[in-house]
Each structure stands twice: as C-alpha cells, then as structure tokens.
Amino acid sequence: MIKDEIKKKYNLKINEFIKHNKLYYDKSSPIISDREFDQLKKEIIDLEKNYSYLNNPKSPSNSVGFKPSKNFDKFKHRVQMLSLSNAFDKGDLENFEKKILNFLNKKINFDYSVEPKIDGISASLTYLNGILTYGVSRGDGSEGELITNNLKTIKDIPHKIGKNTVPEEIEIRGEVFIEKKDFQKIKDKFANPRNAASGTLRQKDPKQTSKIPLRFIAYTFGYISDEKFKNQSDFLKELRSWGFLTSDYNQIISGIDELVKFHQKFEKKRFDLDYDIDGLVYKVNNIELQKRLGFTSNAPRWAIAHKFSADHAFSEILNIDIQVGRTGALTPVAKVKPVNIGGVVVSNATLHNEDEIIRKDIRIGDTVKIERAGDVIPHVLEVDLKKRKKKINKFIFPKKCPSCGSETEKEFNLITKKFDAVRRCTNEGFACEKIAIERIKHFISKDAINIDGLGKKVVEKFWELKFIKLPQDIYNLNYQKISSLDGWGLQSVSNLKFSIENSKEVTLDKFIFSLGIRHIGIENAKIIADFTKNIKNFFNLAKNNKINEIINMDGIGETQVKSLEKFFNNKININVVEKLMGILKIKNREIKKSGKLINRSFMFTGKLRNISRAEAKSLIEENSGSIVSSVSKKLDYLVIGEKPTNRKVEQAKNLGIKILSQKEWHDLLN
C-alpha cells in the first residue's frame, strides 16, 4: 500500500518534470522558476535514493535537457553535453570534494577553476583547421540543433581562429546570453534574459537572431584532436588569445573554506554584473585529474555548480501590523521571526492589502514563504498549510483606521468599475496622525520642496517632540531647542537652517506636488501649474470649486478633479496652503518657449502608425505644444489616425477645429 502511494507520488512528479522540461527546453517558455524546477528534480532524485525500486527512463537522473526542436537539422554531439550537479551549501561542497578524493583513492591537493555560472543557454562550436564549421545547441545533451548561421551572427564568436596554436579539430563550448541592458529593450516579449537568448538563438531565420545583441562567453571544450592543456585555467587563457570572450571573474581557488568565502562575496556582487548569473561553477583545474574522474550518467565528477542562496525562505508570522500611508492606504505588514534571505535578515514582509490577505488566507501564527527579489521590499508568497496549527483564527482586517479611528473604505474605481483592493482611512486631512507624518515626509522630499537636511527619521523625531505638526511648522522651528538635542551639533543645526531657508523658493509645479494630493503626481502637478500659471490662480480655482476647468488637460480626468476637490474641501488643508503661500516664494515654472508648436494644443484620435501615443505626446511637448484630452474650443488641432472616433471628428468639425492627418501633423513638426 505504502509502496503504491510512493510510486504514485513519484510518477506524478515525473510527469510534472516532463511537462516543465519541455516548456523549458523545447518551447523556451518555462512557467515555473529555475529554483522550483531544480527543487522538483531534487525531490525526484531524493525519492530514487530512498526507494531503490523507483526508476523511470525519463527521470532527471537519466536525462539532461530535451529533444531538439523540429525546426532545425539534428546534430549528434561527439562528446555529450552534460549538465552540472548543484551544491547549495558548504555541506554539499564537502561531500563533493570527499567523493573526488574517494574516487581518486588518495589524499592530494588540487585547485579549482572558479567561474561565474552564466544564466544563458549553452552552445557548441566546432572549428576545423580554425574555421567555424558547426554551431550546435545543447538539445538533450546527446543531440542538438544545427544552428551555425544563427550563432555566426553573434559578434563574440570568431568565424576563424587565425592562431597556429589551435588544434586541427576543436569543439569550444560556452554560454549564449543577453546583457541586462539589452534585455530591458525587449522585456515585454520574454519572461527573463535566458528565455530571450534561447528564443532568439533558435529563430528559423538568422536575420531575426542578428536583430538582438546576443553575447557569447567561452568556458570549456568538447572534442579536441590534440589535448595539450594541463589546466582548465590554461585553456581559458588560450581561449582569449584565440579571440574568444571569457569571464573577467574567473579565479583559481583551493579549499572549501576559500570557495565559500568567495561565493559569499560574489553573491552580493552578482547584481552589479552586466548579465545574469545563478551561481559559481567549480572545476578541478588539473585536466589530467578531470579525465580520471570522468562522468556519472549526467554530470562530471570534477565540477559542481554552487548556486546562490534562495531568494525565499520560510518563517512564522508573529503579528500583522497595519501601516497607514500618505494617501490613507492601510498596508498590512507581517512581522515575522527573523530569517536570512540571500544574506539579508528579514523581519518584515508586506502583505500588500486586505484582499491579498483574504485571497491567500494569511493568519497570525502561520508559516509563510517569503520572497526577497533584488532590492524590493520582501513579500509573503503563500502559506504553508501543512504547518498550520489547528486553532488559529482568520485574520480580521480592521474596519477603523488604527491611527485616528476614522471609518475606512474601499473606493469604487471608475475605470475598472470595481472596488479597490486597498482599504483607506477616510480622513483626508492632517487630522490622522500617521497620514500627517507621511505627508510631511512627502513635503520635504526631493521632487517636492526638497529639504535635504531634514530626513524622514528627523521628521519622525520632530513629530514626536511636537516640533512639527503641519508643513508650515518647518519654517518656524526653534533652532535653539534643536541644538540641545542629542546628536545635533552647531554644524548640523546650521546645515538644517540653511536647507530650510533654501527651500523657500520653489516652482509652482513642485509646490502643488508637495501638497501630497492623491492622484497628483509630479507630471500632473506640472500640467496644472502650466494651466494655472501662478499660485493665486491655482488657489482660487481650488477654493472656488472651479477645478472642473482643468479637466480638459491631458492626464487630468475625473479622478484627479475629484481628488483635488476632496483635498480643498478640508479646512486644515486650506489653512496649510494659505500659510505656506505666506512663507514661500512660489515661482512660475519656466517653460521652454521656443518650440514650433508654441501656444497650440493638440488631440489625437485613432491609431497612429509607427509611433506610440506616448511618443507622439512627448514630441508635441518637446516642441512646446500642449495636449488636451477632449474636443472643446481650447483645442487647435485634432490629429486623426486609423479608425478615429467619429464623434470626436464630428465635434471638431462643428467647432471649426483644424483636422490633420498623421502625415500633415508630421509635416507641421518637420
């Protein structure tokens, strides 16, 4: 019975593996992460280790990669292209070295050639008398696809090796990859840089391959007619002299302790590299030893991939805090038992919003999977339900603001016609303490008033000491008192004074932005500033309920108008603006007044050819024109693309507005 269950479990995992293997290698479009894929392989291999009766020809222990695609001719590798076994910690490395010593049956000292494990796809290049003759993908390790012409489009791959040191026949292997900056340009089409490289390399038409800047780093050889290299490191050097690119980070290291040290150092550096790496490869440097060690059925005994530590970990939720942001959004944050994720100790992880907690049914006391990717705030991925204790309650999201006790609400989104996932405090003013602090932090920030001597921490401190409650209080600080605080010397007080004084002169757009009105980011603030021209106009519009007048400006819709109205419906807000108007010197924004389209407004309808709306808009703005988003007397030109909205065209005709084709518009711009 138990045996049957284990077999069933094993077969399910094998089927999963076959599916994901196919998605990864054949279709270049995996739907699970590499780590999950590695984990799945490990689970299968572990089961096989524990239960010797388990066995399947399709198991990862019997196969590498996947059958080549039918798009290309097949090509049998003269020497198999194997994969590497993985190590995740020091124990795995010790095991690896122990096996080597056992295999060689003696105690010897040897070095490792240490190389970054580039996360691309491997390729093999066969040179006959120095001429690149066959270029092949890895395929299933035994047989790959003949993609010589595609590989030849990569500029790092020499078509000819001119040196007489090159053997009559040599197969050079390495990694094809795409640099991070180049991937940015095509990131909408592929899940990650590796898929981009794989997809591009296996295009039917080499011209398509040549469009994307692929790169190639060489790192090993397959068949060689004249084996003259003593060490892997010598071979790497020779590769450079033949015109190949090799990694700048290759090293020679001996001893597990030194390997681990280097790994730790490199793990932090990996994000600074131009390309993705997912670990380090350690190879026994001495090639004679490599030969003796040979291969198991799918990996060399003389090399191992030391993966970088997981970017996720499991920990227990100790509590759920509700943070209140500048716009009143209530953000739940899980306080977790401190856990190390990729070298950083994590004790907070965001749970995003109320809906997310409901969807994932996250409860205090649960063990959860936390992910930390790059520099973003760690977040909770999922609950490990197997670890859930029986008697823990569902988490009830508070319905009152934890800071000021006001009602909270989920707004109805006019565009999506759904209620927001985020719950908000309905207190729009400075009366909610947490909102007020966040607003002051926003007020002093770089794109707003910009007081660099006054950081977020200082704002919190001054708030606590009741030095500031409203933005205008910043301009009325008692410097005497501040200089008597711990950590404040004469110099730092004088710096603070200087940067506060300096901040008094500000442009209208930055001032509007500094108020921290919801939906009024810096771009919208610029639009409003350009429209209202000076602070008086802006303030009068707001106070006299005439904000509707700006709704025709592009970017300003009902949402923005409603938000402005709500802001100015609040007495404290009006008081803040009035006080600041008395303290600050608010200048008009300087607009470049030289462009061809000056004082002319435009609107687009229909699809434009070869240019996005965003680019069209920025072209108009660069030339000092403006954009409006509805047809009114304020509009000078309606530009029509393919399938325009007839109603807009009719309206424009009725109002006598000039109608331009895309070509006529281009002519206007020259």
User: Does 305 engage in binding with ligand IVH (CB under 6 A)?
Assistant: yes
For residues 444 to 483, the per-residue mask of contacts with ligand IVH, x marking binding by CB under 6 A and - elsewhere, is ----------------------------------------
By CB under 6 A, which span of 15-23, 114-122, 226-234, 547-555 interacts with ligand IVH?
114-122
Contacting ligand IVH (CB under 6 A), which of 17, 63, 100, 115? 115
Spell out, one character per residue from 124 to 163, where the chain touches ligand IVH: x when CB under 6 A holds, - when not: ----------------------------------------
Per rule CB under 6 A, is residue 209 in the interface with ligand IVH?
no
Give the phi and the psi of residue 366 in degrees, each rounded to 5: -70, 150
Phi, psi (degrees; rounded to nearest 5) at 548: -50, -25
Identify which range of 92-100, 297-305, 364-372, 487-495 contacts ligand IVH by CB under 6 A.
Answer: 297-305
- For residue 239, give the amino acid letter: L
Of the pair 279, 328, the CB lying nearest ligand IVH is at: 279
Query: Measured on CA atoms in the order 493, 498, 503, 505, is the torsion positive or negative?
Result: positive
Q: How far is the CB of 248 from ligand IVH (least distance, A)?
A: 13
Among 17, 190, 216, 219, binds ligand IVH (CB under 6 A): 219
Nearer Cβ to ligand IVH, position 305 or 512? 305
Shortest reach from residue 577's CB to ligand IVH, in Å: 59
Indicate the residue type of 453: G
DSSP 237: H
The secondary structure of 475-536 as a DSSP string is GG--HHHHHTSTT--HHHHHHHHHHHHHTTEEEHHHHHHHT--TT--HHHHHHHHHHH-SHH
Give the integer Cα–Cα distance in Å for 548 and 528. 12
Sequence-distant contacts of 534-538: CB under 8 A, at least 24 apart? 534/508, 534/586, 534/588, 535/508, 535/511, 535/581, 535/586, 538/508, 538/512
Under rule CB under 6 A, residue 118 binds ligand IVH: yes
Cβ at position 219, least distance to ligand IVH in Å: 4
Q: Which is it for strands 143-145 and 112-118: parallel, antiparallel or unpaired?
A: unpaired
Pairing of strands 143-145, 74-76: antiparallel
User: Residues touching ligand IVH: how many (CB under 6 A)?
Assistant: 14
Hey, what's the torsion of the CAs at 72, 76, 77, 79, to 10 degrees? 170
Q: Which is nearer to ligand IVH, 249 or 531 (CB)?
A: 249
Q: How far is the CB of 86 from ligand IVH (least distance, A)?
A: 8
* Closer Cβ to ligand IVH, 112 or 242, answer by number: 112
Contact 536, 544 (CB under 8 A): no
Residue 383's φ and ψ, nearest 5 degrees, are -95, 140
The answer to whether residue 111 forms part of the interface with ligand IVH (CB under 6 A) is: no
Q: How far is the CB of 621 from ligand IVH (least distance, A)?
A: 46
Binding-site member from 100, 114, 218, 303 for ligand IVH (CB under 6 A): 303
**Which region among 1-9, 24-32, 81-89, 497-505 touches ligand IVH (by CB under 6 A)?**
81-89
CB of 303 to ligand IVH, least distance (A): 5
Rounded Cα distance, 461 and 472, in Å: 17
CB of 161 to ligand IVH, least distance (A): 20
What sections of 109-250 are H helices per DSSP? 148-152, 180-186, 193-201, 206-210, 232-241
Which of these segments, 82-90, 182-190, 264-272, 412-420, binds ligand IVH (CB under 6 A)?
82-90
AA identity, residue 660: L
Of the two residues 219 and 665, which places its CB atom closer to ligand IVH in the complex?
Answer: 219
- Please say which residue, 217 or 333, places its beta carbon nearer to ligand IVH: 217
- Closest CB to ligand IVH among residues 281, 482: 281
Q: Of the candidates 21, 56, 122, 286, which one interacts with ligand IVH according to CB under 6 A? A: 122
Query: Per the structure block, which two tokens stand in for 46?
Result: 């572990």
Q: What angle do CA 525, 531, 535 make, to 5 degrees?
A: 70
Catalytically active residues, by annotation: 117
Residue 32 phi/psi, 5° resolution?
-125, 160
Determine which residue in the list 54, 93, 114, 281 makes contact with ligand IVH, applying CB under 6 A. Answer: 281
- Cross-strand partners of 331: 323
Q: Which is nearer to ligand IVH, 144 or 625 (CB)?
A: 144
Q: Which of 220, 514, 573, 626 binds ligand IVH (CB under 6 A)?
A: 220
Taking CB under 6 A as the rule, does residue 83 contact ligand IVH? yes
Residues 166-205, one symbol each (x = binds ligand IVH by CB under 6 A, - = not), give ---------x------------------------------
Which residue type is seen at 523?
E
Is 508 among the residues that bind ligand IVH (CB under 6 A)?
no
Nearer to ligand IVH, 220 or 445 (CB): 220
Considering the rule CB under 6 A, would residue 538 count as an interface residue with ligand IVH?
Answer: no
Residue 117 binds ligand IVH, judged by CB under 6 A: yes
Which segment (79-87, 88-96, 506-514, 623-631) binds ligand IVH by CB under 6 A? 79-87
The stretch among 42-50, 298-306, 404-412, 595-603 that binds ligand IVH (CB under 6 A) is 298-306
Question: Which C-beta is closer to ligand IVH: that of 198 or that of 327?
Answer: 198
Pairing outcome for strands 214-224 and 74-76 = unpaired
Closest residue (Cβ) to ligand IVH? Answer: 122
| Vertex 83 angle, CA 78 and 86, to 5° | 160
CB 308 within 8 A of CB 342: yes
Stretch that binds ligand IVH, among 5-13, 32-40, 113-121, 465-473 (CB under 6 A): 113-121
113 binds ligand IVH (CB under 6 A): no
CB of 341 to ligand IVH, least distance (A): 24
Scan for tokens 């000092």, then name that residue.
624
d(CA 56, CA 48): 10
Binding status of residue 437 toward ligand IVH by CB under 6 A: no
Decide if residue 68 touches ligand IVH (CB under 6 A).
Answer: no
Ramachandran angles phi, psi of 505, nearest 5°: -95, 120
Q: Determine if 626 is a binding residue for ligand IVH (CB under 6 A).
A: no
Q: By CB under 6 A, which span of 66-74, 110-118, 317-325, 661-669 interacts with ligand IVH?
A: 110-118
What long-range pairs does 192-197 form, CB within 8 A, spacing at least 24? 192/276, 193/119, 193/120, 193/275, 193/276, 194/119, 194/120, 194/121, 194/276, 195/28, 195/29, 195/30, 197/120, 197/121
3-state secondary structure 345-368: EEEEEECCCHHHHHHHCCCCCCEE
CA distance 483 to 490: 7
Residues that bind ligand IVH (CB under 6 A): 82-84, 115, 117-118, 122, 175, 219-220, 281, 300, 303, 305
